[in-house]
Amino acid sequence: MSVDWEPRAEKRRTRDGEGPRWDLLREETLERDDYTCQRCGYRQADRGQPERRLEAHVAAHGSPSLDDLDNAVTLCGPCHATLHSDDPAYREVRKDAPMFPVPEAPDSVATMRSDRQHVCQRCQHLADSAMNLAAYQEDGSDYVLCKPCAGALLAAGYDPENFEVAGELDAESLKRRASDAPVRPALLASRPVRALRPPETAFERFVYDTPLRYLFNPIGLTVLFIILGVFASFYFF
């Protein structure tokens, strides 16, 4: 649909989503997206008294035009805040956004609530998409996991009711990915998700189901190098 800019607004610079030109782009974006947040699926049914304000997100602000319409995305206020994780002004709003985007969310907005939540808190792997992550909930706190580590915890006996993913949870599918997770969590793993993955291969069982497990871990390796260093000092000096 062709829309004419208000003549004076055509000459006016806008910034940070303000001004008549931006308002026009916002209305066009919301109408195209059926007044629905493209990250969480919230739909503004009552335009008179909306539960959440809907906003248009474009990667670069400045002086917008309808040429930006293809790159604009409708977001509710909390979901819009997830794209501004470094801005403290969005902190209070961001906490109201769901942790995961809907599976059909465009890649440009398919993010977790903050950038830090893209790191698995068991193996420290940095995921490139929220679709590759899950979350484990305990005592009111959320612990983000890559899907292999989520499968490892499920294989270790964790309750599937405490897990969340983008879309519908398939516990059995996650378990099948457990073998891609490390048997032992990273040294800096969060306490509630530090469980070992059940060893599967003969080598894993040999290393992790025998006394060798005390050696093949960061603390054991550190102690081993200290002992070797002491013996080397006596031998060479």
77's enclosing H/E stretch is: helix 77-81
pLDDT band, very low/low/confident/very high, at 89 (cuts 50, 70, 90): confident
- On whether the CB atoms of residues 135 and 142 are closer than 8 A, the answer is yes
d(CA 78, CA 91): 9
Domain ranges of the chain: 1-113, 119-198, 201-237
Helix (H) and strand (E) counts for the chain?
Answer: 8, 5
144, β-bridge pairs: 135
Average pLDDT over residues 188-206: 87
Q: Computed from CA positions of residues 48, 53, 58, 61, in that sequence, does the dihedral angle turn out positive or negative?
A: positive
For residue range 131-171, list pLDDT tens digits in order.
899 999 999 889 999 999 999 999 999 999 999 998 899 99
Q: Which residue has the higher pLDDT, 9 or 81?
A: 81
Say what the pLDDT of residue 121 is. Answer: 95
Average pLDDT over residues 96-112: 89
On the question of pLDDT at 12 being above 60, the answer is: no
Taking alpha carbons only, the member of 99, 98, 100, 53 closest to residue 77 is: 53
- On whether the CB atoms of residues 149 and 123 are closer than 8 A, the answer is yes
Taking alpha carbons only, the member of 139, 140, 165, 128 closest to residue 150 is: 165
On the question of pLDDT at 22 being above 60, the answer is: yes
**Amino acid identity, position 24:** L
On the question of pLDDT at 11 being above 60, the answer is: no
Residues in the chain: 237
Q: Which residue has the higher pLDDT, 125 or 49?
A: 125
Q: Which residue has the higher pLDDT, 172 or 207?
A: 172
Mean of per-residue pLDDT scores for the chain = 80
19-23, 63-67, 229-233: least confident range: 63-67
Say what the pLDDT of residue 14 is. Answer: 33
Task: State what percent of residues in the chain have pLDDT above 70.
Answer: 76
The torsion angle over the Cα atoms of residues 97, 103, 105 and 110, rounded to 10 degrees, is 60
84-98, 183-197, 206-220: least confident range: 206-220
Taking alpha carbons only, the member of 186, 181, 179 closest to residue 200 is: 179
